[in-house]
Amino acid sequence: MSGTKLLLDTNVALYLLRGDRSAADAIHGQKVVISFITRMELLGKPGLSKAELKRIEAFVNEWPMVEFDRAIMDAAIVIRREYRLKLPDAIIAATAIALDVPLLTADADFQRLKGELRLMFYEV
């Protein structure tokens, strides 16, 4: 699957930030993009030190970030309503669907969208 574009879920981003080699191997050679939600979730965590913020900012700047737009918003509304995902997860799923790319995640909740969403599961 080398060279394939994929959307990185926040939970996998956290594994990468912790130095998880398996997560790094999972994205090696991939064209990774992140959602603005992932950026917000990572940088919005309370209690981060200045050093942690700097490290996370550098991390999220490694990949292109997908901005919020009307197509993602409309898809997220439907996903949230029909599949009862948390709003951040609904937005991330909608982003992957709008971009027509797989979502790399460790979150089994996304299986609810099987058939609508291409998933790549990262197993811890």
- pLDDT tens digits for range 63-116: 999 999 999 999 999 999 999 999 999 999 999 999 999 999 999 999 999 889
pLDDT surpassing 70 at residue 2: no
Dump the DSSP string for 25-56.
Answer: HHHTT-EEEEEHHHHHHHHT-TT--HHHHHHH
Q: State residue 4's pLDDT score.
A: 66
Number of domains in the chain: 1
Where does the pLDDT of residue 124 fall: very low under 50, low under 70, confident under 90, or very high at 90 and above?
confident
Q: For 2, left (φ over 0), alpha (ψ -120 to 50), or beta?
A: beta
User: 22 and 49 in contact (C-beta within 8 Å)?
Assistant: no
* pLDDT 10s digits, 22-75: 999 999 999 999 999 999 999 999 999 999 999 999 999 999 999 999 999 999
> What CATH number is attached to the domain comprising 76?
3.40.50.1010
Give the Å distances, CA to CA, from 99 to 6, 17, 20, 45, 51. 9, 24, 27, 27, 33
User: Where residue 1 falls among pLDDT bands split at 50, 70, 90?
Assistant: very low
| Predicted local distance difference test score (pLDDT) of residue 92 | 98
Residue 70 belongs to what domain range? 5-121
Q: With b meaning 16 or more CB within 10 Å and e meaning fewer, what string describes 91-101?
A: bbbbbbbbbeb
Confidence bin at 3 (pLDDT 50/70/90): low
